[in-house]
Amino acid sequence: MITINENYLRLQASYLFSDIAKRVAKFQQDNPQTDVIKLGIGDVTKALPQAAITAFHKAVDEMADDASFRGYGPEQGYDFLREAIAKNDFQAREAEIAADEIFVSDGAKCDTGNFQELFSEEAVVAIPDPVYPVYLDTNVMAGRSGEFTNGRFENIVYLDCTKENGFVPDLPQEKVDLIYLCFPNNPTGSTISKEELKGWVDFAAENKALILFDAAYEGFIVDESLPHSIYEIEGAKKVAVEFRSFSKTAGFTGTRCAFTVVPKECLVYDKSGAEHSLHALWNRRHCTKFNGVSYPVQRAAEAIYSPEGQAQCKELAAFYRKNAETVLKTMSGLGYFCMGGINSPYIWIEAKGGSWQFFDMLLEKAGVVCTPGAGFGSCGEGYIRISSFNSYEKVVEAMERVEKTLQ
């Protein structure tokens, strides 16, 4: 008899985006004359930067010729991309990361989801609330949680992110082993200062814990005082892994390319307390289960680091930032407490009521779709998330409609 991994039965069905889709479909059916504006899902809307497209085409042509064709590439990624990443994303910011500490992959979703499998089932996991759901669900699948009661899983240490702490969690009071952090944050748009991040790095070092730092939205940072990478913090290379993605910063959500940084000096432990290299473990896992990102996609990603590519990505971020500013200005002008929207494409808004109530009101009265904060965790109740990924014209129109509705 084939038996299942019963941890999967503990998972809470994620109704968030399907519930949203159902409510939107019903509204559209009942109100066919309303042009619904979607500011819910965090998917980019603008085309790939021209530098990436040119490199992509050229690489596809190389694949059409026996002389330049490439078969399987290195699982960790081609040197040309790993070197461009190390130089531009890290060494340029005085974060001494070497090319061979970078593992190119097809997404930060897969990497943030898969990384936990290197650790024991007993590892105590600390996860922010609200949160990008992948961190929690993959740990539940692996058996690190107990039952789901009163909206939370037993045995998971939740790090509450609230208005009071500026949506930057406080250090845990108990001992934890694996800590997930994401800045700039999805869904709250909050950021972390170097001093606050140093607190986490020191905590991890004192507790022999590991930080999994998700920097998928790093490209939206404009405040020069904020860290782009955890490796800008002294001591982080010993206790942290960093996830990055080309999805939001270069429009690669449908093209798929990301990377994970595992420093060689990062140590983890077996039950006897003996030290092991995390880099060696992840390398083993990556080579066994992953066969690399396609050559043309890696060439397209490399082109992001050319001077033209960098300028075009800055333009993309500026485009979405203008949308975010429009949302922020409207909502705070209407007297709503807002977080994010400056160093982040997301605006987190206190709803003055239930998340779903506010969602329904914006949909029914303004024809605008947002995401109810409650879908990201119990601390998200009472908030909504508005995403800046749409055209400027649509964002302006959405905010005009919201203004009329809420005034």
Positions that interact with ligand PLP (CB under 6 A): 42, 107-109, 112, 132, 182, 186, 214, 216, 245, 247, 253, 258
Beta-carbon neighbour count of residue 274 at 10 Å? 8
Q: Which is nearer to ligand PLP, 112 or 330 (CB)?
A: 112
Give least dist CB 182 to ligand PLP, A: 5
Q: Which is nearer to ligand PLP, 256 or 299 (CB)?
A: 256
The kind and range of the H/E element at 392 are: helix 392-406
State phi, psi for 230 to the nearest 5 degrees: -65, -20
Alpha carbon distance 201, 199 (integer Å): 6
Give least dist CB 207 to ligand PLP, A: 24
Helix (H, G, I), strand (E, B) or coil at 369: strand
Task: Name the burial class of residue 273, with classes exposed (0-12), middle (13-18) and buried (19+) by CB atoms within 10 angstroms of its CB.
Answer: exposed
Closest residue by Cα to residue 191 from 220, 159, 171: 220
Give least dist CB 311 to ligand PLP, A: 22
Alpha carbon distance 369, 406 (integer Å): 15
Alpha carbon distance 347, 325 (integer Å): 9
Q: Which is nearer to ligand PLP, 112 or 191 (CB)?
A: 112
Give least dist CB 216 to ligand PLP, A: 4
Sole residue written with tokens 């949203």: 20
193, 183 contact by CB (below 8 A): no
Q: Which is nearer to ligand PLP, 131 or 395 (CB)?
A: 131
Q: Which is nearer to ligand PLP, 317 or 366 (CB)?
A: 317
Give least dist CB 95 to ligand PLP, A: 20
Alpha carbon distance 53, 254 (integer Å): 13
Give least dist CB 132 to ligand PLP, A: 4
Q: Which is nearer to ligand PLP, 45 or 253 (CB)?
A: 253
Give least dist CB 245 to ligand PLP, A: 3
Alpha carbon distance 360, 355 (integer Å): 9
Residue whose C-beta lies closest to ligand PLP: 107
Which one-letter amino acid corresponds to residue 84?
Answer: A
Q: Which is nearer to ligand PLP, 104 or 402 (CB)?
A: 104
